[in-house]
Structure 1
């Protein structure tokens, strides 16, 4: 069992923990960046079903070599203030989780490097060293994000009232709704409208003041 914690902070990954949308970086490797970026934007605004959109965007990655993840990871930019926020959570006895509609192939390197305690994301199926254009396993969508926050809190003996969810897109709303505090960060209008707190500056250190 994971060790108990005083509180739990769960962040989205793309455009929250990091500045990038990872699927767009991978799509650049396939020469399909603009097409995938437009589809991502529509999904984040909540105009299309996230799972359906993700499947079509991942299909556009067919044939990208798995070796391209090294290039993608080298282009990742952590969001300003992320290290300060994670350090502050740990100093106060909290745990930091990341749950993402993005991909383990990138988060498995990026999350531990930033000090994240636990993370969950989608996996990309590959064969013969190239992506096959499908998601491997169940898709991490809005419902899965909310369920993951609830599960991690239970594992660590943290009441939901002492959880904070931070996100920017429509698929973060369910997670923000179940958390004790839902924080819209660098967020789309629909997300800002439903959040408990809106953080305007793109600086995660701004969230430190909200920690219990």
Structure 2
């Protein structure tokens, strides 16, 4: 008989798991619009562009690429060392490791396949006949991220009191504000202010002591 889930950890992707900061920038380099995308992401970070505007700028650069090509490019998306250890810790302790991110859905699917996360939510670029069409088929902002995480926990029968979140930036703040424990990892000042704890590290496995403390507090 499968043991019941003890809790859920929601992991951000860009700037948290992805060591280069942005999975979109990683892909945009290959598409050929990295400079435009990096500038758009800087403007999102300072509040002068919305998530919707950044997504539209980025999606346009995907036009004409095949889904198989993008999946292949994502196979070498760089992540922090220690990801495998953290996911293994979660699985051993009956904690569900869920990706809660504004990264495109192919990114979260790839990370879920590589490391064993649960992919849930994220924006989508439209696809026609196995080729991306350059339009945003589904927008997804920081409030969608929060709401989708809450719905996921409800669907799994896990109270929000048994959930925590790990992230680094503006897009994590709405989720940080509704979970009882939040870890700001290599984070901006605003994310640190919204979190219950903050650490800086080049190895994701350094979050395990914090996760152990959080899980022990539930018993």
Structure 1 stretches of 4+ with a deviation exceeding 4 A read: none
Partners of 1:128 and 1:114 lie apart in 2 by: 28
Report the counterpart of residue 16 of structure 1 in structure 2: 16
Larger RCO (CA under 8 A, 6+ residues apart) = 1
State the Cα deviation string for residues 83-110 of structure 1 (Å, max 9, x = none): 1111112211111100221122232232
- The 1:45–1:114 alpha-carbon spacing in structure 2 relative to 1, beyond 3 Å, is farther
Partners of 2:147 and 2:77 lie apart in 1 by: 27
In the alignment, structure 1 residue 36 sits paired with structure 2 residue 37: yes
Equivalent residues, number: 210
After TM superposition, the score normalised by the length of structure 2 is 0.85
Structure 2: gaps of 5 or more residues:
none
- The 1:84–1:39 alpha-carbon spacing in structure 2 relative to 1, beyond 3 Å, is same
Matched-pair contact (CA < 8 Å) for 2:108–2:119 = no
Matched-pair contact (CA < 8 Å) for 2:4–2:94 = no
1:45 to partner: Cα distance = 4.3
Listed as ranges, the matches of 1:53-132 within 5 Å are 53-127=54-128, 129-132=130-133
SS of the equivalent of 2:135 reads: strand
Matched-pair contact (CA < 8 Å) for 1:45–1:169 = no
Partners of 1:41 and 1:88 lie apart in 2 by: 34
- The 1:90–1:74 alpha-carbon spacing in structure 2 relative to 1, beyond 3 Å, is closer
CA RMSD for the aligned pairs?
A: 2.2
Report the counterpart of residue 27 of structure 1 in structure 2: 28
Partners of 1:114 and 1:42 lie apart in 2 by: 31
Report the counterpart of residue 160 of structure 2 in structure 1: 160
In the alignment, structure 1 residue 177 sits paired with structure 2 residue 177: yes
